[in-house]
Structure 1
Amino acid sequence: MKNVPLDSVDHVDRAVLPIGTDYPPGHLLDWHEHRRAQFLYGATGVMVVDTDEGTWTVPPERAVLIPAATRHRVRMLGVSTRSLYIEPDAVPWWPATCTVVDVPPLLRELLSAAVGFEAHYSLSGWEGHIAALLLHEIAARTPLPFHVAIPATAELAALCREYLAAPDVGVTNATWAARTAMSERSFTRRFRSEIGDSPAVWRARARLLAAVPLLRTASVSEVAGHLGYASPAAFTAAFTRAFGMPPSRFAARSAGGGPGPGHRL
């Protein structure tokens, strides 16, 4: 099925409903939730998924597993999706929180085939076998660490979401403490109690997550400078430590390449 609203087929008696959807650049799917669990794969572009508990950045050709009845929103950056909407009782192993995963070639091909199914696809033919194999392949996926937690307290959550939208290397613990009318020590202790990391560690990881969508249109050198790193090498080392792969895997151009006409970060 292509570009079909889930609500129009959610009642269909199939454990797996595959739907492919094309989104305009920068499209925001505002806060919503699904009765079914969702396997959300971006065949192109980058997705940023928010829940009340955290933010997950989904690089190109990766996917995010979204638990059933999870309130979330998704920012689509040049994305064409291949989604599977899955009855919760068909996936008792589904993670309790959103999880970014790898998508190997076999799974990509299965997803591409599945979005061509009709809603009432045959369960006994090859379509039914593909649906079953899709669940087997998803269960074997490897989690990837492309996320940061969001504090439960509204004022701390607002600071974090604001920073994710526009990371600023000049922001310090003292800056955030002043915004919340707390001493720096008290603020840091409170933040750590909710997240498990210090505010400085959280901001460093948030800047690295922000690099993923920037790398769609900029070189490693440009993104490193924009995010306040002393050199592309320092940025590459930090990114690789955090995510297990270098930023060059996602870069539009090699480091050192100049910006193209009209380029903006």
Structure 2
Amino acid sequence: MRTIDLTGQDSQGDDQHFESLSWIESGEEPVLALGRIYPSGFRGPPHSHTKTQLWCARHGVVLVSTAGGRWMIPPGHGLLIPAGLEHFSEMISDVRMHSIYVSSSIVVSDVPRVLEITPLAGSLIEELVQSDEKPLAPRRKRLIMELLLDEIGRLPERPLGLPFPGDARLDRLCRHFLKSPDANAGIDDWARELGMSRRSFTRLFRVETGVSFVTWRQQACIFASLPRLAEGEPITNVALDAGYENIAAFTTMFRRMLGSSPSTYLKSRAA
């Protein structure tokens, strides 16, 4: 169990990253815990591991990308990453993270899933990460690991994964949308941009992403807004910039996705 500070390293820090990966792969304990501190803009190299990973953001916002999509991990959440899945990360702000690694036979996941980290799970992970500085008695350590594994199965899933299309033209539009989200973006406008009929566009979009355009648009607006909210920008400004007519409409969609209003969510994350 260890904590690594990468704030003084370059934008990649590949040597330190792969040294940690070697430590993870050779570890024999049922649960391995690792803490890292990243500077804003840090990009981790593409990699995979033979263990299932729960990547938890304690402070800051991170994006994890795979060939099939991007997943945002705001504070108080974690991304369950299947064993063997190649991925890379980008820090949207200064980030303090905790990761745990578990045998894929114990925690099984076929696809990445964003989970809300309960106070209990967060405390258990913190205990394991700090065990280098504050060694745990073997029995206590075993009990913490057993309780944590049980708690992982109870963590609520949150719809913060954003599927991305393989079609190059559609991918370009989706990436542009994330930079300038618009809750009122229309299917006809996107179809016209691609020189397609409305029917052909909607069929292509669902085939490429697995969801409807409207569902993707709603998720993408919240996806793009979270980093700004985490940085402390006023909710009203973020909502209006994302194309919502008023804060009530933004709050309704936010609550539908995250289970609470923006103000309540931000207060709970700060606590």
- Tell me if 1:57 matches 2:60: no
Is 1:213–2:214 an aligned residue pair?
no
1:86 aligns with 2:102: yes
Q: Which residue of 2 aligns with 1:186?
A: 200
Structure 1 residue 169, shift from structure 2 partner: 5.2
1:103 and 1:177 mapped to 2: Cα distance?
39
Q: Quote the offset at 1:236 in angstroms.
A: 1.0
Q: Say which SS state the counterpart of residue 96 (structure 2) adopts.
A: strand
Q: Measure how far apart 1:39 and its partner are.
A: 0.7
Structure 2 residues without counterparts, runs of 5 or longer: 5-15
What are structure 1's unaligned runs of at least 5 residues?
253-265
Please list, as runs of the form range in 1=range in 2, the aligned pairs for 1:3-22 lying within 5 A after superposition: 3=4, 5-9=19-23, 10-22=25-37
1:150-199 Cα offsets, whole Å, 9 max, x none, are: 23434333432332244245754344334434333312221123334332
Identical columns (%): 33
**Aligned partner letter, 1:229:** Y
Runs of 4+ in 1 over 4 A off after TM superposition: 121-124, 168-171
Q: 1:150 — aligned with what?
A: 164
**Kept after mapping to 1: 8 A contact 2:184/2:244:** no
- Sort the Cα spacing of 1:198 and 1:137 in 2 relative to 1 into closer, same or farther, 3 A: closer
What is the TM-score of this pair, normalised by structure 2? 0.80
Tell me, in whole angstroms, the C-alpha distance in 1 between the residues paired with 2:76 and 2:259: 16
Deviation at 1:130? 1.9
In structure 2, distance between residues paired with 1:56 and 1:245: 20
Which of the pair is proportionally richer in helix?
2
1:132 has 2:133 as partner: no
TM value normalised by structure 1:
0.82
- Cα deviation for residue 148 of structure 1 reads 2.5
**1:15, distance to aligned residue in structure 2 (A):** 2.7
Number of the residue aligned with 2:245: 230
Cα distance change, pair 108–251 in 1 and its aligned pair in 2 (3 A): closer
In structure 2, the residue corresponding to 1:34 is in which secondary structure?
A: coil
Residues paired across the two proteins, number: 248
Matched, 1:111 2:114: no
